[in-house]
Amino acid sequence: MKIPVFDLTRQYRAIQGEIDTAIRRVLESGHFILGPEVEAFEAKIAGYLGGKHAIGVASGTDALLLSLKALGIGPGDGVIVPSFTFFATAGTVVNAGATPIFADIDPKTFNISLESVRKILDQPPSGITIRAIIPVHLYGQPADMDEIMAIAKEHGLYVIEDAAQAIGAEYKGHKAGTIGHLGCFSFFPTKNLGAYGDGGLVVTNDDELAERVRMLRVHGSKPKYYHHLVGTNSRLDALQAAILQAKLPHLEKWTERRQKIADLYDRLLQGLDALVLPYRAPNRTHIFHQYTVRVRGGKRDALQKHLKQQGIETQVYYPLPLHLQPCFKGLGYKEGDLLESERASREVLSLPMFPELRDEEVEYVASAVRRFFEDKNGP
């Protein structure tokens, strides 16, 4: 049996008629950049998320960058980010001219550690003014937003939620991405709500910030050719907006299916001492963008190799924490500075997870994992 870590073609086949109709509608309209399709999607996604403003942009990376620029964050400013996350969370801080300040993670949720954040704020780097914090809702589970917002208020910080992996996840009844000053989403094709190319979204309840993001995505202009800010070209195109509109009504059932797959994995994989299953924190929902386990005892790479031999694709998100990336060497971090991020990078493994994954495929994956650990000869 061959099982991919994700399969976009299965989803397309399931809703092919809706997707093809949406694409044809745009092609026949002749309007491909921003316009009615984008405005319609922005209205629908804002309603789904419960945010006042939703602004479509070219990618999740741009959503973060434009949010930073809308807040006026730049040279001399610092932004606290988790070290264990996708590169864009920190890369956009640098591209805004500011400095990323790396925090460690909670070992159970993989989200930013409140203790680490407080430690940074108690002893901030010299010569840098900390202006914001970017909590990442990693793998589809929200971070501890009440505590983060309280810390931010105490220290006068902005909060930009990186909800790229968490669309539809809830924290105490609020959708991820709508709690901070700004929330950022990605519509990369493999996301829970994915386009057929790059796409992103900024959500905010602040009228002034929303207006700044709208201007920044079109070179800072309002009206056209009158530039009040130095922005960039970061527009969600009409084809992607139409595709996302077609997919949005299916998102909840896809999320429910992901959660059922996660429950099945949990049941089939329990009781393996060297395997730590995903933790579900209280007062929030986990939408399982990834089903990520920890493999103790230095056996992660061997397990991944074993599963590949059984036709099972897996991924490591992420093999090297950001504070140890070569491009950030100048910031002065070294191995041992953020122990939980470093440990996670050695232990995490994401198993196949997408809504169209069949129960028998989950059972096959789980059986292969169990064989690896239960083999009398040992792995």
Q: Which residue has the higher pLDDT, 378 or 209?
A: 209
Separation of CA 347 from chain center:
20
pLDDT in tens, 160-212: 999 999 999 999 999 999 999 999 999 999 999 999 999 999 999 999 999 99
The predicted model scores a pTM of 0.96
Tokens of 144: 């501890």
Topology (CATH level 3) of domain 251-374: Aspartate Aminotransferase, domain 1 (3.90.1150)
> What residues form DSSP beta bridges with 293?
349
Cα 361 to Cα 352: distance, rounded to the nearest angstrom? 9
Separation of CA 209 from chain center:
21
Residue type at 1 in one-letter notation = M
Q: What is the pLDDT, as a whole number, of residue 375?
A: 81
Domain boundaries along the sequence of the chain? 8-249, 251-374
pLDDT in tens, 54-93: 999 999 999 999 999 999 999 999 999 999 999 999 999 9
Separation of CA 24 from chain center:
30
Tokens of 327: 């491009």
Q: What is the pLDDT, as a whole number, of residue 377?
A: 45
Using DSSP's 3-state secondary structure scheme, residue 176 falls into: coil
pLDDT in tens, 254-308: 999 999 999 999 999 999 999 999 999 999 999 999 999 999 999 999 999 999 9
User: Domain 8-249, what architecture?
Assistant: 3-Layer(aba) Sandwich (3.40)
